Structure 1
Amino acid sequence: MRPTLFLVSLLLPTLAQAWGNHSPMCYRAFERMPEVANAAPVRAEPLVDFLRDQEAAIARELDAQEAEARARLKNHAPRPEVLRFVPDAGRGDAERRAAFLRALRLSPQSKLALYLQVDPRDPDTTRPAMDASLVTAVRPGAGATQRFVALQPGERVAPLAVLASACDEPDYGLDLNLFDDNPGHPDYGFGPQPFGNPAVAIGSQAPFHMGFFHQGAIFNALAPGFTRSLIELRLMQYAGLAGLAWRSGHAYWGWRFVGLALHHIEDLTQPYHASAAPGASLGYMMWVNLKAGLGAPADRQGLVVLQGNRHFVLEKFQTNWIMDDARQHREGPLEQALRDPSRDARYPAWGAGYARDVVAAEAFAAGPATDAAVVVGAPARFVTDPQLDFAANEARFGPELAHDLQGQRQALQQQVAELLGHFGAHSRNALRGMLREAAQMPR
């Protein structure tokens, strides 16, 4: 019996990205955190320098991670032995880099270039912009807000800038087309894509960026594929590599890898990434699927469109708001929420279950209120008309949405500020935990 699985598989391709551009929010969340603000500048270095210098240690780290994943992570797809990272001093840098990507099971097209995403509050216009194709394998969409500049090997750079830049990087194609039924997949042993549409490229990253950990036993029985989130695998991989890089004198890659890890925590703070359909009950999802099976698919398709529209409206509103504040040097509710250190102590200390039991649980619980805030805070036709597909017409409707929201934003503004308070607190708690774990490991 698979009605719920079929419904939500249609929803996910439009929801594979959670918060749009993470970097502007991470600049605000970390700029006053002592562990980041007071950290000494680090020297930028190409990835191959770290790999060449620490090849044997990286091999041990990745083997330990795989053993832990097999022991601890539910539904883990074991890494094929042929992908194991084996030290080989005789190979060249290009093959060593390719072997590293295979061992992590990241896209072969991953760039991992030397770059920064500039803070929109303080754009350094003296440095020429870097072509996005050198940084991301994903073509920037309409209204993309990222601006990249190149780093030179040996250049000193603030850890805040490295961290905030890397927090957006997992959306640059690192997790695309990795499953056995994706086009051009690299034989990584992940099996069929557990949810999302395998034919839609951006949707193929969904299982690495979403975690439906709290849908309940009935949902899980109807749609067992949705229990296969790979967020915890990516967290383990990146956090472990960050610790190794910090301990071995490669601080730039310590901050870079920890930023990659934090992206996945931050994605889970988005209710549309922790709940299959925040605006619909399980009973309603089953009902519209039953009707579709009997030849009346309109309600099911309407739910698909509305959930996608609401996610896009939330993301568009949040992105426009944070970017406008940054460019105008305004201090408002979003900036205050992102920085607020008093929120951090409301949660338990970072640990192995934090992403699932704390972050995802909170976002799942916030789903109905978030969906309701979008409905009352945005122009009705964007969030209640199942005939209007906002995602498919973003270039056309985006400016209109931004204009129309000016007079209707209070409820949505309050909810977005609350969610970004979660974003900031969980990001800082996770970073503290990863720094602590790195310091406790032997050098």
Structure 2
Amino acid sequence: MSSRPMRHTFLLLALLPTLAQAWGNHSPMCYRAFERMPEVANAAAVKVEPLVDFLRAQESAIARTLDAQEAWARQHLKGHAPRPEALRFTADAKRSDAERRAAFLRALRLSPQSKLALYLQVDPREADSSRPALDAAEVSAVGNSKGATQRFVALQAGEAVAPLAVLASACDEPDYGHDLNLFDDNAGAPSNPGYGFGKQPFGNPAVAIGSQAPFHMGFFHQGRVFNTLAPSFARTFTELRVQQYGGLAVLAWQTGHAYWGWRFAGLALHHVEDLTQPYHASAAPGATLGHMMWVNLKAQLGAPADRQGLVVLQSNRHFVLENFQTSWIMDNARQRRDGPLEQALRDLALDGRYPAWSPGYVRDVVAAEAFAAGPRTDAAVVVGAPAKFVTDPNFDFAANEGRLGAELARDMQGQREALLREVAELLRHFGSHSRNGLRGLLKQAGK
């Protein structure tokens, strides 16, 4: 058997799991994670500012920042896809605001459909908001999924807003279409073959939402054998996004654009938070390398059922974990009560036990920790959820989530404690890494 088909079939192992988001809605969790952090809780209100105002005022500085980021990425990021020279952002006072904004998105290699609107995602603990409601289509280029929990309100340029609200809202924003259809082989419209990312390294390039997976997952710790058999799994761009958004946050704070400082910080932290989820840091947390090799060999020999079953099981467990976590957080928020997950998100005790924030923190600390937690998390899902949702390879939970979410919640009442403890531990890491990342960015900005 040649190495080429083995590599090809290895890619199929992550085909369905990569379609899921890591943590559902990040914002409600980020409200809890940051609300008692002094650097956020004591920060002065900031003035809302349209993106084009920041771009126009700091055009030359932004150009220098993006050039420096690209030079750094080429030197330090493994598997980096160099930005084509034609996409370089340069200062041009004569162009329109729309042209400047489009050039900025191209230089970051974000989807041209990215909204970056003036909005907040309301803390679900707030009973109401005096601000006008905003349709999701004004904020996100991705249609609402079944059971979406986001609730948006409009901001007006010049109004004052709390940094906590800006930060927590932005922590969910990269899932709103920033990273869709950026590879040469994506079938969605518009596709961007001129962005230089090449072919999609894993996931299904024909499914739009799946095209964001390489920007939100990081398989950095699978081991030498796995990486030899499936080298494209190492091509992920989470670290690039953290550096891009984080550098812009620092620049915005340093140049008096505090609103965009907090906004870009939230965008950066989203990608950090995604890697606290074991299903985003491991190709198959519930399977050994030997088992993955065996089911791929069987598929090569004409018996693909076990391989497809593994894909379905990993996907189901990912969706069940996400559904459980989101339902718990939202129910407690709406009733303004605290439980183990809220307490874990606020827990500051773990923050100082990690190394200081650095460019290697995402890979060496966050992803490594989540990868190590993978087997334990997968086992907790199997124990905590009804068997048909997590052990039947013929049952696709994702396709039935809207119909079966209530059934899952009901049937887990008597058997959820092990899963609750595991999710609480994961969210304790989520909160600590989010705060440590923010501290690192504020330190770089001299705040």
Cα distance between partner residues in 1 of 2:16 and 2:182:
15
Distance in 2, matches of 1:240 and 1:126, equals 33
Give 1:74's aligned residue.
Answer: 78
Name the CA shift for 1:143/1:252 in 2 (closer, same or farther; >3 Å): same
Q: Does 1:324 align with 2:295?
A: no
Once the two structures are overlaid, the 10-residue window that deviates more, 387-396 or 359-368, is 387-396
Q: Is contact 1:7-1:304 (8 Å) kept?
A: no
Map 1:306-385 → 2, pairs under 5 A: 306-385=313-392
Query: In structure 2, what is the equivalent of residue 95 of structure 1?
Result: 99
The match for 2:26 is 22
Match of 1:431 in 2: 438
The 3-state SS of whatever aligns with 1:175 is: coil
* Alpha-carbon distance, 1:230 to partner: 0.4
> 2:242 touches 2:268 (CA, 8 Å); kept in 1?
yes
Match of 1:6 among 6, 9, 12: 9
Give the Cα separation in 2 of the matches to 1:138 and 1:404: 31
Change (3 A) 1:389 1:4: farther
Asked if residue 120 in structure 1 is aligned to residue 127 in structure 2, the reply is no
Partner secondary structure for residue 445 of structure 2: helix
Change (3 A) 1:283 1:216: same
Deviation at 1:4, TM superposition (A): 5.7
Query: For residue 397 of structure 1, what is the aligned residue in structure 2?
Result: 404
Letter in 2 for 1:262: L
* Conserved 8 A contact 2:246-2:441: yes
Deviation at 1:8, TM superposition (A): 4.2
Task: Show the counterpart of 2:281.
Answer: 274
Could you list the per-position Cα deviations for residues 210-265 of structure 1 after superposition, in whole angstroms to 9, with x for gaps in the alignment?
A: 00000000000000001111011101100110010001110000000000000000
- RMSD over aligned CA atoms reads 1.1
CA distance in 2, matches of 1:411, 1:5: 36
Contact 2:14 2:202 in 1 (8 A): no
> Within 2, Cα distance between the matches of 1:13 and 1:379?
21
Say whether 1:260 aligns with 2:267. Answer: yes
**2: CA distance between counterparts of 1:9 and 1:89?**
48
Greater CA drift, 194-203 or 213-222: 194-203
| In 1: Cα distance, 2:111 partner to 2:28 partner | 25
Q: Which moved more, 1:14-23 or 1:357-366?
A: 14-23
Task: Report the equivalent of 2:67.
Answer: 63
Aligned-residue offset at 1:157? 0.2
Alpha-carbon distance between aligned partners in 1 of 2:431 and 2:124, rounded to the nearest angstrom: 18
- Quote the residue 1:156 is aligned against: 160
Would the aligned equivalents of 2:7 and 2:231 in 1 still touch at CA under 8 Å? no
The CA deviation at 1:297 is 1.1
- State the distance in 2 between where 1:326 and 1:210 align: 28
- Give the Cα–Cα distance (whole angstroms) in 1 for the partners of residues 229 and 430 of structure 2: 31
Q: Give the SS at the match of 1:266.
A: helix
Task: Call closer, same or farther: CA 1:174–1:13 in 2, change over 3 Å.
Answer: farther
2:236 — aligned with what?
229
Measure how far apart 1:12 and its partner are. 4.0
- Compute the displacement of 1:5 (Å): 4.9
1:362, 1:25 → 2: CA distance? 19
Q: Partner letter of residue 185 of structure 1?
A: S
1:374 aligned counterpart, secondary structure: helix
1:31-81 residue CA offsets vs partner (Å, 9 max, x unmatched): 000000000000011100000000011001001111111111111111101
- Deviations along 1:155-203, one digit per CA (max 9) or x if unpaired, are 1000000000000000000000001111232220111111111111111
Superposed displacement of residue 340, structure 1: 0.5
Distance in structure 1 (CA, Å) of the matches to 2:17 and 2:286: 15
One of 109, 117, 120 as aligned partner of 1:105: 109
Q: 1:13 to 1:304 in 2, by over 3 A?
A: closer
* Aligned-partner Cα distance in 2 for 1:157–1:340: 25
Residues 1:94 and 1:263: Cα distance change in structure 2 (over 3 Å): same
Specify which of 52, 55, 58 is matched with residue 56 of structure 2: 52
Q: Quote how far apart the aligned CAs of 1:376 are.
A: 0.4
Question: What code does the residue aligned with 2:191 have?
Answer: H
Q: Identity percentage over the alignment?
A: 77
Q: Which residue of 1 aligns with 2:191?
A: 185
Q: Compute the displacement of 1:127 (Å).
A: 3.0
Q: Is the 8 A contact 1:13 1:206 kept in 2?
A: no
SS of 2:14 mapped into structure 1: helix
For residue 99 of structure 1, report the CA deviation from its aligned partner. 0.2
Letter in 2 for 1:386: P
Report the CA distance between 1:96 and its aligned residue.
Answer: 0.4
The separation in 1 between residues aligned to 2:345 and 2:31, in whole angstroms, is 9
State the aligned residue count.
Answer: 440
After superposing the two structures, state which structure 1 stretch, 5-14 or 397-406, moved more: 5-14
Deviations 1:372-426 (A, max 9, x none): 0000000000000011100111112112111111121100000000000000000
**Cα drift, residue 348 of structure 1:** 0.7
The code of the aligned residue for 2:208 comes to A
| The one of 417, 423, 428 aligned to 1:421 | 428
- The answer to whether the 8 A contact 1:208-1:229 is kept is yes
**In the alignment, what sits opposite 1:31?**
35
